[in-house]
């Protein structure tokens, strides 16, 4: 995972923890919330990996039971090793594997972010996430006005919070950080929406960011 991508993931977690007006937070507050978030991520990753191991054990038990109770093995002598058998229905197995892969990917991501944030050599992650938060603190009214302007009649207070936070991060980068390529900012905002929000969120986020780019003459 690239440092900036990890920083955006961390910034999203940071934004989700805000409980008061953004202007009331200090840089120390941002750092404290981030440390708390990394601890939550690490604990969450540990629990999710345990779930994955448990699911793998259940899946193995299911396969072994199916094999042992298959008609070709029921007629074998006691103590004889079971013969491998075909699995006629794959959809249930695929669904179980997909669930485990999803859990494992989230756990790996959480551990990567935690590692990036805690390693001294990767302080860029923490610094960039805090920079986004501080730039949003200074320019929050302008950023929210951009969202409201292009939200197709939606009141900003009624938007899905995850979508709003993703847009706040991306628009802050586009208009006030101006340090990352536009395509990268948009693509990663869309990926965050796909990963963490609703089915329609990625197209919603992409649409608003496209208008922000055009209307502000960004290149």
CATH number reported for the structural domain that contains residue 56 in this entry: 1.10.940.10
Name the pLDDT band for 120 (thresholds 50, 70, 90).
very low
User: What average pLDDT does the structure give for the chain?
Assistant: 83
pTM for the predicted model, two decimal places:
0.69
Indicate the range of 30-44, 64-78, 140-154, 196-210 predicted with least confidence.
30-44
> How many domains in the chain?
1
- Mapped to the 3 state alphabet, what secondary structure does the chain carry? CCHHHHHHHHHHHHHHCCCCCHHHCCHHHHHHHHHHHHHHHHHHHHHHHHHHHHHHHHHHHHHHHHHHCCHHHHCCCCCCCCCCCCCCCCHHHHHHHHHHHHHHHHHHHHHHHHHHHHCHHHHHHHHHHHHHHHHHHHHHHHHHHHHHHHCCCCCHHHCCHHHHHHHHHHHHHHHHHCCCCHHHHHHHHHHHHHHHCCCCHHHHHHHHHHHHHHHCCCC
Query: What's the pLDDT at 61?
Result: 82
pLDDT digits (tens, 9 = 90+) for 141-172: 999 999 999 987 777 777 889 999 999 999 99
Domain holding 133, by residue range, is: 3-215
């Amino acid at each position: 995972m690239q440092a900036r991508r990890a920083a955006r993931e961390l910034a999203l977690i940071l934004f989700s923890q805000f409980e008061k007006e953004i202007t009331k937070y200090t840089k120390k507050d941002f750092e404290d919330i981030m440390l708390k978030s990394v601890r939550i991520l690490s604990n969450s990753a540990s629990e999710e990996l345990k779930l994955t191991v448990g699911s793998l054990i259940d899946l193995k038990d299911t396969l072994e039971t199916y094999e042992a109770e298959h008609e070709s093995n029921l007629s074998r002598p006691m103590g004889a090793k079971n013969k491998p058998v075909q699995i006629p229905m794959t959809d249930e197995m695929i669904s179980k594997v997909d669930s485990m892969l999803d859990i494992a990917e989230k756990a790996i991501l959480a551990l990567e972010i935690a590692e990036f944030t805690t390693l001294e050599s990767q302080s860029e992650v923490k610094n960039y996430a805090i920079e986004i938060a501080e730039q949003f603190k200074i320019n929050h009214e302008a950023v929210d006005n951009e969202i409201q302007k292009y939200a197709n009649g939606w009141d900003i207070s009624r938007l899905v919070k995850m979508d709003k936070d993703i847009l706040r991060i991306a628009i802050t980068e586009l208009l006030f950080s101006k340090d990352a390529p536009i395509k990268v900012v948009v693509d990663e905002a869309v990926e965050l929406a796909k990963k963490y929000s609703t089915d329609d969120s990625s197209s919603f986020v992409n649409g608003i960011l496209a208008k922000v780019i055009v209307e502000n003459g960004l290149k």
